[in-house]
Amino acid sequence: MGEGMGRKNKHRIICALDTGNLNDAIATVTRLKDYCGAFKIGHALTLPNGLSVIDRLQDAGAERIFLDLKFHDIPNSVGIAVREAAKHHVWMMTLHLSGGPAMLSAAVEEAQFLSETERPLLVGVSVLTSMDQETLTDKIGVQREIKDHMLKLSEMGIEAGMDGMVCSVEEAADMRAWFPHAVIVTPGIRAHSGDLHDQSRVGDGQDAIEAGADYLVIGRPLTGSDDPEKALQELRLCDD
């Protein structure tokens, strides 16, 4: 793959390993490690395999691991979770911002015990990209608009010392304007002609970069493709 065929954006791309099969995950890392700067894992891989799955993926060539378990518990429990995950040299992890300032501060304090090279990035999740306004308002009872709710929770997270937040393409520009130094992670990356799967708020790679995203989470459009270069072209991620 040439320099103009995706490698300039490699550091931005986080490949989502949405499988519970460790052998499949290792095979995906081996196949896509030259195209992705990091790999995201969640409950599907960690519940059956434990956190040692992180070490296995790193051995297979994963440069960085994004642990997406969305910690949400009492402050002491979340602090312990951050400590245990950090033992496996996790690069980034998620926490639910709705856990409140005490919980977020406990996570930040635990991370600060680590050296600069060992400290994971802590990013907050406010409104899942699978959620739309109707669900947020009518089912959950939050009367704010999605964007306003995300901004409010993200402000709380940054004040607690979090490194950044997860948001869709639709909110990324506002997040960048409000939090110019925050790390912004954007999932829901799809080609404009692609299947939305279970995502409601999506955009392609160039949309996200132009909106201010630092990192782009890509799952099935990349892992399900037999031609990674073509997939990146369709996502408009072959050039800076």
pLDDT digits (tens, 9 = 90+) for 54-96: 999 999 999 999 999 999 999 999 999 999 999 999 999 999 9
Give the single-character DSSP code of 226. S
pLDDT at 215: 97
Residues serving a catalytic function are 70
Name beta bridge partners: 96. 125
11-233: CATH number? 3.20.20.70
Q: What is the pLDDT of residue 225?
A: 92
Matching residue, tokens 């010392």: 161
Query: What is the pairing mode between strands 121-125 and 92-96?
Result: parallel
- At 175, phi and psi to the nearest 5? -60, -40
For residue 108, which of 78, 151, 74, 149 has the smallest C-alpha distance?
Answer: 78
Alpha helices (runs of H) in 87-126, residue ranges in sequence order: 101-112
Q: Which of 23, 1, 36, 68 lies closest to 221, judged by CA?
A: 36
Place of tokens 């496996």: 88
CA distance 152 to 72: 18
Nearest-angstrom CA–CA distance, 236 and 233: 5
* Per-domain residue ranges of the chain: 11-233
pLDDT of residue 2: 41
The confidence score (pLDDT) of residue 190 equals 83
Confidence (pLDDT) at 198: 46
Q: 41 - beta bridge partners?
A: 67
Q: What is the pLDDT of residue 237?
A: 86
Query: Among residues 82, 65, 51, which one has the least CA distance to residue 161?
Result: 82
Average pLDDT of each block of 10 consecutive residues along the chain (240 residues)?
57 96 97 96 96 97 97 98 96 98 98 93 92 94 94 97 95 95 93 55 83 95 92 79
Q: Is 13 helix (H, G, I), strand (E, B) or coil?
A: strand
**What are the phi and psi torsion angles at 121 (to 5°)?**
-75, 135
* 190 residue type, one letter: R
Per-residue confidence (pLDDT) for residue 191, from 0 to 100: 83
